[in-house]
Amino acid sequence: MSGRPQPVEGRLTAREAGLVGCRRCSKVWPLDTQLCGRCGATLRSRDTTSISRVWAWWVLGVAAYIPANLYPMLRTQTLVETQEATIVGGAIELMQHGSYGIAIVILVASVLIPVAKFLCIAFLAMSSQSATPVSASARQQLYEIVEYVGRWSMIDVFVVAILASLVQLDYAATVNPGPASLSFALSVIFTMLSAQAFDSRIIWDGIERSTPHAPRDPQPTEGSPTP
Amino acid sequence: MTQKITHTDDLIACHGCDALYRVQMPEHGQRAICSRCHTVLVAPRRRAGMTIVMLSLGVVILVFGALWFPFLEISRSGFHNSATLIDSALAFTDGPLLILSLSVAAFIILIPLMRVMLILYVLWPVVFDRPPNKSAATAFRLAEALRPWSMAEIFAIGCAVALVKVADLAQIGFGPAFYMFAALVVIIAVQDNQMCRWSIWQSLDETDRQA
Ligand SMILES: [Zn+2]
Ligand SMILES: [Zn+2]
């Protein structure tokens, strides 16, 4: 038996076939079914509230990201001095100490990924409502990357947590978390919720209407075959 | 030509793009992939159920071990401190930052632990040929919804970054909990790789019908 998913003759999507697919467990039901009988998830052929929820979380995410960059993330006290470092300030300091690798990890996780994520989600939400030159498969890939990478921004919050619990050496050195840690964590959470609210099936709607019933070759399977 | 499709049991809809397929079980170790958006639809593994159950038990044991023992130790000019995993999770104690403490504890300990417990609850009867637990579907749905919020591996990378940051401030030592946590991260990754969601849903469905 082959592992190829067989397309259903003449029917491209569950919706065109008068059916609705469960996004949680992939089971297929008649279009007017409300709840998935297998996993209990709410069934929606297309989530019509998706885009407005995406934007709502997106706005909260951006709003929380601004104070995250203005206020200090860490407050370090040693015998000689007290330092407060913002996200970018902390990374610059690391570079001055010669730890370029770690500085880059912090900058990527705390600046590059969040900003790129805001832009990507905004693009995906806008392009699902109007025409775009970017192909559906490219947008699907973009969506998957955004969903996968977004969580990693949490690194900096965890670093602060570890440092603050570990570096409590009375007068020698203490590290305490700054207010930016909370707004940064909230920004990451809101942006994750924004990405999760997006119904990726919208990307594909209307894409192949111009060439209905085009023959599609099932994708060959990957992985090592068992003996 | 557009007769209504009434028999839907052998159909699968891609959750990424809604493409409709007839299910054909790939061989163990192979994957059925949506030809339109390349989402993995089915990826069965040989004896996956038993493997996942064993790995989950391992994770439960390691979580409690990692909570009990010291995680990291630090010393500088005569002062010494050691932090457990719970200390790290609860580092934010100032007023509003307490919320952050609770979410960090959830992300790195509670949610990973809850997920493996839910998966054990779902798969244990399936693996030992018993009828599935009553709320198995709800439990597995919850486990799936929690997946993006389980951040043990991100915390592990956070440790590495934190260690480099304090390296010139003080001397650092690893406690036993650190190694347990590292092992836990690896096991969770392997377990996730073994898990074919579609096969699990299917097995819950089938055992349900027989009962
Ligand atoms: Zn379902
Ligand atoms: Zn697809």
- Which pLDDT tens digit goes with each residue over B147-201? 999 999 999 989 888 888 888 778 888 889 999 999 999 999 999 988 999 889 9
Higher pLDDT: B112 or B76? It is: B112
The Cα A39–Cα B35 span in angstroms is 25
DSSP state of A42: B
In chain B, what are the domains? 1-44 (no CATH), 46-210 (1.20.140)
A141 and A81 together in one domain: yes
Round the average pLDDT of chain A to a whole number and report it.
83
Q: How far is CA A179 from CA A84, A86, A133, A157, A184, in A?
A: 11, 10, 42, 11, 9
Evaluate whether residue A215 is within a structural domain: no
pLDDT at residue A116 is higher than 80:
yes
3-state secondary structure chain B: CCCCCCCCCCEEECCCCCEEEECCCCCCCCCEECCCCCCEEECCCCCHHHHHHHHHHHHHHHHHHHHHCCCEEEEECCEEEEECHHHHHCCCCCCCHHHHHHHHHHHHHHHHHHHHHHHHHHHHHHHCCCCCCCCHHHHHHHHHHHHHHCCHHHHHHHHHHHHHHHCCCCEEEECHHHHHHHHHHHHHHHHHHHCCHHHHHHHHHHHHHHC
A114 and A181 together in one domain: yes
- Which pLDDT tens digit goes with each residue over A4-41? 667 776 668 888 888 999 998 889 999 888 999 888 88
A40 and A99 together in one domain: no
pLDDT at residue B133 is higher than 90:
no
Q: Do A185 and B100 touch (CB under 8 A)?
A: yes
Q: Do B165 and A102 touch (CB under 8 A)?
A: yes
Which structural domain range is residue A174 located in? 49-207
Give the pLDDT confidence score for residue A10 in this predicted structure: 64
Among B15, B75, B94, beta carbon nearest to A21:
B15
Q: Do B161 and A155 touch (CB under 8 A)?
A: yes
Evaluate whether residue A2 is within a structural domain: no
Higher pLDDT: A11 or A115? It is: A115
Give the pLDDT confidence score for residue B6 in this predicted structure: 65
Evaluate whether residue A181 is within a structural domain: yes
A95 and A168 together in one domain: yes
Residue-wise DSSP of A111-176 = IIHHHHHHHHHHHHHHHTTS--SS-HHHHHHHHHHHHHHGGGGGHHHHHHHHHHHH-EETTTEEEE
Whole-prediction pTM value? 0.87
A141 and A158 together in one domain: yes
| Ligand 1: centre distance to CA A200 (Å) | 17
Evaluate whether residue A212 is within a structural domain: no
Confidence band (pLDDT; 50, 70, 90) for A226? very low
- Token output for B68: 């009990």
Task: Quickly tell me which residue has 């069934």 as its tokens.
Answer: A43
Evaluate whether residue A150 is within a structural domain: yes
Task: Quote the number of domains for chain A.
Answer: 2
Round the average pLDDT of chain B to a whole number and report it.
87
3-state secondary structure (DSSP) of residue A14? coil
Lowest mean pLDDT among A31-40, A210-219, B106-115: A210-219
Secondary structure element (H or E) that encloses residue A106, with its range: helix A100-107
For the stretch A124-127, contacts whose Cβ atoms lie closer than 8 Å and that sit 24 or more positions apart, written own/partner, are A124/A54, A124/A198, A124/A203, A125/A51, A125/A54, A125/A55, A125/A58, A125/A198
Give the pLDDT confidence score for residue A225 in this predicted structure: 37
Q: Do A13 and B18 touch (CB under 8 A)?
A: yes
A108 and A173 together in one domain: yes
Evaluate whether residue A223 is within a structural domain: no
Q: Which of A81, A85, A86, A73 is nearest to A171 (CA)?
A: A81
Evaluate whether residue A216 is within a structural domain: no
A131 and A100 together in one domain: yes
- Which pLDDT tens digit goes with each residue over A43-84? 988 888 899 999 999 999 999 999 999 999 988 888 888 888
pLDDT at residue B58 is higher than 50:
yes
A26 and A102 together in one domain: no
Give the pLDDT confidence score for residue B203 in this predicted structure: 85
A159 and A83 together in one domain: yes
pLDDT at residue A227 is higher than 50:
no
CA triplet A64, B185, B126: central angle to 5 degrees?
Answer: 110
Q: What residues pair up with A168 in beta bridges, in sequence order?
A: A174
| % residues pLDDT > 90 (chain A) | 35
3-state secondary structure (DSSP) of residue A85? strand
| Ligand 1: centre distance to CA B170 (Å) | 53
Evaluate whether residue A221 is within a structural domain: no
Among A5, A156, A217, beta carbon nearest to B21:
A5
Name residues 148-177 of chain B within 8 A of A (Cβ).
148, 151, 154-155, 157-159, 161-162, 164-166, 168-170
Any idea what the CATH number is for the domain that residue A55 is in?
A: 1.20.140
A40 and A81 together in one domain: no
The Cα A92–Cα A100 span in angstroms is 9
A73 and A33 together in one domain: no
A68 and A177 together in one domain: yes
